């Protein structure tokens, strides 16, 4: 694993960023769509693919299954499923990317068997896979666990349609069982599903290729199991990354004299735009762009955050927004309800000069504003890695961010894109 660093010169309220920044395709949309290739009898093209580290992990998993991911040009790939034969998810890739678990549904549904290790990924909490294992058992599969690997076999070689109620509306579990249901025998009903835009986009893609999924956008989905999907000449166009959009918006609200964030879909992050507007951030929200500046920076008002499944406040933007709140007037309560390890980074913000008190693993209060000071930081996950980039730019003096691998997992060529709007950020390769 690469151990690159970023060296960032803080703006310290003396200089500001300006210009335009393009939002890439959504990582969390492209991963399940590429995994859906296991359900296809032919191949298909994918456009607006972000160039991120997770794409390399995805390629490793697809290769292990006999599927080829061919780059046609920048941002465009063709997924060739002609050689598909594997039933095992690549161990190394799986340990580095939790989303590898999405492959379990399509592989088990297509081949009736599956081998995979317990997935790893960002250090944000325990991240169990009980919802997956329970669901497969409901679909008639038998699970064995030894030497750190799960070995799962469908009864008589084919999953059976089932009624599955998710105790938690998990994003990847919803995606996994939608895909499992497509090749299962009979009807699968999924209740209390997640409704993130990436899931809606996946369902629309699958339905356009022959899947029969009803209830899109509601908490209950019905899937009629059937035959392999066929793309014909259809191409999947990756939706804009709402988490990247939100990250840039928070950056702009703190550090930009004027910033245009384009190629995005602001309709997917209304909770963020509403909260920032109420706090006093000057912005103009268009259909596919947001213009933002920090002219009211000195008067931003504090507010509380409670993370929630979509369309509530996304846990992924909790850490960037906490950085924002260190610069707002008053006290904020941050209540992280989804992951129990996703507030640990706040101790680093305290070392930078923020006034943050942790009450328990799920709650901190932030009192602002406080001038942050540059220091050495280690990114524990994708989003907090970017939150540290924002904090470093807000701060006075230099910061060094290690473990840049995590930022690279979700934000493609970020140092180049931020340099393009005036940030002094350099990558030191290691
Ligand atoms: N959970 C269980 N059991 C399970 C699965 C999940 O208890 O079997 C719990 C989790 O521990 C968590 C909650 O359910 O407390 C919700 O987690 P979820 O399963 O929805 O998370 P995920 O599907 O693993 C996706 C995104 C994450 C994002 C979360 C929450 C992808 C590939 N990943 O993860 O994105 O934080 O949903 O919205 O879609 C990121 O992009 O940086 C990232 C981490």
Q: What is the pLDDT of residues 11-34, one digit of tens each?
A: 998 889 999 999 999 999 999 999
Distance CA 20, CA 426 (A): 19
Same fold across 5-24+240-428 and 27-237:
yes
Give residue 31 CA to ligand 1 midpoint distance, Å.
Answer: 14
Tell me which architecture the domain covering 5-24+240-428 has in CATH: Alpha-beta prism (3.65)
Whether residue 264 lies in the annotated active site: no
Neighbours of 212 (CB within 10 A): 14
User: DSSP string covering 189-201, please?
Assistant: EEES----HHHHH
The CATH fold assigned to 27-237 is UDP-n-acetylglucosamine1-carboxyvinyl-transferase; Chain (3.65.10)
> Ligand 1, closest atom to CA 340?
15
pLDDT of residue 127: 79
3-state secondary structure at position 298: helix
Closest alpha carbon to 85 in 59, 63, 118: 63
3-state secondary structure at position 268: helix
Distance CA 196, CA 150 (A): 28
| Ligand 1 pocket test target in 245, 338, 387 with most atoms within 8 Å of CB | 338
| Ligand 1 pocket test target in 172, 384, 411 with most atoms within 8 Å of CB | 172
Domain ranges of the chain: 5-24+240-428, 27-237
pLDDT of residue 148: 84
pLDDT of residue 125: 67
pLDDT of residue 340: 87
pLDDT of residue 181: 98
pLDDT of residue 1: 64
Give residue 124 CA to ligand 1 midpoint distance, Å.
Answer: 10
3-state secondary structure at position 22: strand
Distance CA 430, CA 92 (A): 21
pLDDT of residue 389: 98
Listed as ranges, residues in the chain with pLDDT below 70 are 1-2, 121-126
Question: Which is it for the CA torsion 383, 384, 388, 394, positive or negative?
Answer: positive
> Ligand 1, closest atom to CA 168?
14
Give residue 155 CA to ligand 1 midpoint distance, Å.
Answer: 28
Closest alpha carbon to 135 in 182, 176, 183: 176
3-state secondary structure at position 9: strand
Rg (CA), the chain: 22
**CB-defined site of ligand 1, < 6 Å:** 27-28, 31, 98-99, 122, 125, 127-132, 168, 170-173, 194, 315-316, 338-339, 382-383, 410
The two tokens of residue 134 are: 């329970």
């Amino acid at each position: 694993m690469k151990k690159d660093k970023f060296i960032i010169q803080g703006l310290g309220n003396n200089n500001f960023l300006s210009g335009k920044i393009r939002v890439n395709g959504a990582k969390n949309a492209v991963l399940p769509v590429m995994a859906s290739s296991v359900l296809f009898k032919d191949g298909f093209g994918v456009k607006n693919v972000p160039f991120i580290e997770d794409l390399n992990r995805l390629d490793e998993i697809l290769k292990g299954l006999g599927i080829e991911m061919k780059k046609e040009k920048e941002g465009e790939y063709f997924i060739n499923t002609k050689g598909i034969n594997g039933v095992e998810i690549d161990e190394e890739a799986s340990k580095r990317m939790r989303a590898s678990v999405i492959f379990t549904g399509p592989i088990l549904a297509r081949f009736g068997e599956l081998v995979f290790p317990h997935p790893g990924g960002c250090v944000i909490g325990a991240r169990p896979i009980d919802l997956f294992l329970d669901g497969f058992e409901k679909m008639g599969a038998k699970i064995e666990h030894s030497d750190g690997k799960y070995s799962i076999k469908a009864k008589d070689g084919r999953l059976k349609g089932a009624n599955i109620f998710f105790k938690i509306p998990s994003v990847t579990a919803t995606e996994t069982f939608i895909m499992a249901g497509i090749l299962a025998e009979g009807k699968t009903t999924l209740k209390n599903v997640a409704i993130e835009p990436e899931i809606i986009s996946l369902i629309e893609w699958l339905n356009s290729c022959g899947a029969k999924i009803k209830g899109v956008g509601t908490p209950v989905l019905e899937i009629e199991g059937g035959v392999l999907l066929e793309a014909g000449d259809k191409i999947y166009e990756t939706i804009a990354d709402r988490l990247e959009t939100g990250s840039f918006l928070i950056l702009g609200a703190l550090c930009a004299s004027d910033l245009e964030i384009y190629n995005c879909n602001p309709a997917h992050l209304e909770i963020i735009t509403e909260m920032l507007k109420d706090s006093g951030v000057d912005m103009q929200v268009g259909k596919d762009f947001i213009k933002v500046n920090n002219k009211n920076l000195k008067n931003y008002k504090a507010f509380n955050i409670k993370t929630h499944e979509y369309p509530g406040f996304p846990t992924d933007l909790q850490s960037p927004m906490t950085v924002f709140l260190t610069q707002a007037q008053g006290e904020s309560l941050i209540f992280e309800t989804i992951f129990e390890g996703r507030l640990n980074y706040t101790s680093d913000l305290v070392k930078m000069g923020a006034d943050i008190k942790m009450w328990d693993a799920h709650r901190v209060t932030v009192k602002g504003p406080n001038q942050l000071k540059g220091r050495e930081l280690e990114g524990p996950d994708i989003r907090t890695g970017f939150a540290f980039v924002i904090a470093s730019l807000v701060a006075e003096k230099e910061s060094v961010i290690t473990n840049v691998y995590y930022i690279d997992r979700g934000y493609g060529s970020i140092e180049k894109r931020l340099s393009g709007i005036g940030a002094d950020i350099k990558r030191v390769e290691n």
